[in-house]
Amino acid sequence: MASQTMVVPSDAELLQAQADLWRHSLYYLTSMALKCAVELHIPTAIHNLGGATTLPDLVTSLSLPPSKLPFLRRLMRLLVTSGIFASDSNTEVETYRLNPLSWLMVEGVEADDHTYQRCFVLGTVSRHCVEAAMSLVDWFKKDLASPLPSPFEELHGVPLLDEKTAQLDEELDAIVKEGVAAHDNLTMGTIIRECHDVFKGVQTLTDCCGGEGYHEGLPSHEVHCARPATGY
């Protein structure tokens, strides 16, 4: 078999590759910045300030030390670049405002089309999930018996989204369940509002997996809840 000639990247390609390598290597900071924003309740604070705010007003609303203002600016700029917030910089004072993504993380909104997604974020970036992701190398190297456990189950001894998850951490179990329910409720609510005709003539609806399910909007239907093993 003839050997293939190795194509050497150009200087421009190598510089772009190096920039991409930095971006991928540091991308976890975006997830941690999102976690920080959620735990500081930044989306809710911006909502309470009228949907848009300056950085000094945000610092005051969050009761943060004034010395943290430059660092909050860096955090917000990273989140704006990542599409989590929006900003208006065409004025003398830069303002930050909500967009559809950060709207999902506003607490206390009374609206049919709103579901609070805070727990979904906190569950996916929890210590247990991050540790499982960091154990991927060990998981690949191990010759595990079938059925193969997920990296999460192999590391922690219990599956995620399972009745046994509470044995590992009750708080994690509650957060993950609430996060999944919020995700499902948003999806089902949208389907019911936008595709309501699909349900005409349906007598029974089965809600699979855990959580309370989204039963509103289908008052004439009988809803059964099935909770199969997940194996995550």
pLDDT at position 194, please? Answer: 85
Q: Where are the domains of the chain?
A: 25-103, 118-226
Query: If the chain, 232 residues long, is cut into consecutive pieces of 10 residues, what is the mean pLDDT of each piece?
Result: 79 97 96 98 97 97 98 97 92 90 88 80 96 97 95 95 92 93 83 80 68 50 48 44
| Alpha carbon distances (Å) from 78 to 26, 30, 33, 83, 90 | 12, 7, 8, 9, 18
Q: Tell me the C-alpha distance between 189 and 215, whole Å.
A: 9
The beta strands (E) that lie in 152-203 are given as: none
Q: Tell me the C-alpha distance between 218 and 49, whole Å.
A: 36
Q: Tell me the C-alpha distance between 101 and 66, whole Å.
A: 27
Pick the CATH number of 25-103 from 3.40.50.1820, 3.30.1280.10, 1.10.10.10, 1.10.600.10: 1.10.10.10
Look at residues 174, 171, 47, 185 and name the one whose alpha carbon lies nearest to residue 116: 185
Name the region of 224 (left: φ>0; alpha: ψ -120 to 50; beta: rest). beta
pLDDT at position 197, please? Answer: 83
Burial 117-130 (b: 16+ CB within 10 A, else e): bbbbbbbebbebbe
User: Residue 231 corresponds to which tokens in the numbers above?
Assistant: 């194996």
Q: Tell me the C-alpha distance between 59 and 72, whole Å.
A: 8
Q: Please name the fold of domain 118-226.
A: Rossmann fold (3.40.50)
pLDDT at position 33, please? Answer: 98
Q: What is the DSSP letter of 182?
A: H
pLDDT at position 54, please? Answer: 96
pLDDT at position 84, please? Answer: 97
Q: Tell me the C-alpha distance between 17 and 74, whole Å.
A: 25
pLDDT at position 222, please? Answer: 47
